[in-house]
Amino acid sequence: MSVYSCQVCKFRYDEWLGDTKNGVPPGVPFSHLAGSVCTTCGMQGEGRHVRLPEATYSGLEATYYDQFAGKAGIAFYRNWLLQEAEQAPVSVLELGVGTGRIAIELARCGLSVCGVDNSPDMLEIATKKKRRMLKDNEELLELIEQNVQELQLASRFTHVLLPEGIFQQATCREEQRQLLSVVARHLTEGGTVAIDLLLPPVNRKWSLMQRKFVFPDRMVYQKVEGETLIAEQKFRYTLTYETFVEQVEQPRYRVERELALLLPGELELLLESSGYNVVQSRENVVCHRSQPPEQTEEYELDRWQHGGYPFAELPGAPGAATRWTIIAKKNSAPSL
């Protein structure tokens, strides 16, 4: 489902919502509207209507991102890449670097990382964290503001990461293949790509709620309401932040996002048909320990690894959202 806008009369149509005023039910494709709905343009005219890009992560969504993404995936990528570095030098390109949650941890461990994102607000947070946490090793992390679909860097990397569902922002096969082509251009021969897949709750419609004290007097509620259309192979959600300071509600922040619904097996087939060899596919959710750890006064960095954005469901909960990580190597010779 997509949102289209007329460049002349500015009429907008959201395929997911339909158009109640004009009697169009939800789910009707834009292509079915020709000659109807708008009296000005008739929803016709070549090149007149354009698909609107996905909203960038900005405002409160960028500000609160780390608070709800938590530590999901950080230890996995760090430990995996450090093992890879024992075999050969590692250079990392992270697409959708966001606030630098993963990239900064990798740089802290001495790995060279380039992070790309199209959100100025997210990159501003990442830059501040980089200065604070890397100090004398800031050169290990380069941050670039650019659309990943249009990426053209001079360098190649041994590993490319697409964490937290960034690959699913490409909602059609053409965009997905184009993104894999971008990855291939930036990988060394035999290089490795790792892609996180977000799988929503199994129900057609679902709602999730988290809340957190962000500052001593600030309670933030994160509500995610979504719908999954299996036939369309997409899911869409509305994310709302409600903030209260000393029990007084502040202005709300709301954004809608649409992601491709891809099963791990489907992504594996897509990778193999695009010149990659899948070497690992795993459900990347950290299970809780069956026994609590012994009390210690020492700080344990990885004792807790819960989180995820926008889903942070308890592992093992029936019908819960989950995350898979697929790792593949770029073939040395082009596929036939």
Same domain, 73 and 124: yes
pLDDT of residue 336: 38
Per run of 10 residues, the mean pLDDT along the chain (length 336 residues) is: 82 86 86 82 79 87 93 94 96 97 96 97 97 93 95 96 95 94 96 96 92 90 93 92 92 94 96 96 71 72 85 74 95 59
Q: Is residue 102 part of a domain?
A: yes
274 vs 287: CA distance, rounded Å:
33
| Tokens matching residue 232 | 């369309």
Q: Is residue 170 part of a domain?
A: yes
Q: HSE of 57 in the Cβ direction (CA atoms, 13 Å)?
A: 24
Same domain, 84 and 184: yes
Same domain, 121 and 182: yes
Range of the domain at 274: 59-200+261-287+299-330
Q: At which of 13, 35, 52 does a domain end?
A: 52
CATH code of the domain containing 20: 2.20.28.10
Q: At what angle do helices 173-185 and 264-273 cross, to 10 degrees?
A: 60
Q: At what angle do helices 120-134 and 101-108 cross, to 10 degrees?
A: 20
pLDDT of residue 335: 44
Same domain, 27 and 137: no
Q: HSE of 170 in the Cβ direction (CA atoms, 13 Å)?
A: 22
* Residue 322: count of CB within 10 angstroms of its CB: 20
User: Which of 133, 128, 157, 154 minimizes the C-alpha distance to 143?
Assistant: 128
pLDDT of residue 95: 98
pLDDT digits (tens, 9 = 90+) for 60-114: 999 999 999 989 899 999 999 999 999 999 999 999 999 999 999 999 999 999 9
User: Which of 175, 324, 163 minimizes the C-alpha distance to 260?
Assistant: 175
241 vs 255: CA distance, rounded Å:
9
User: Which of 215, 220, 238, 169 minimizes the C-alpha distance to 60?
Assistant: 220
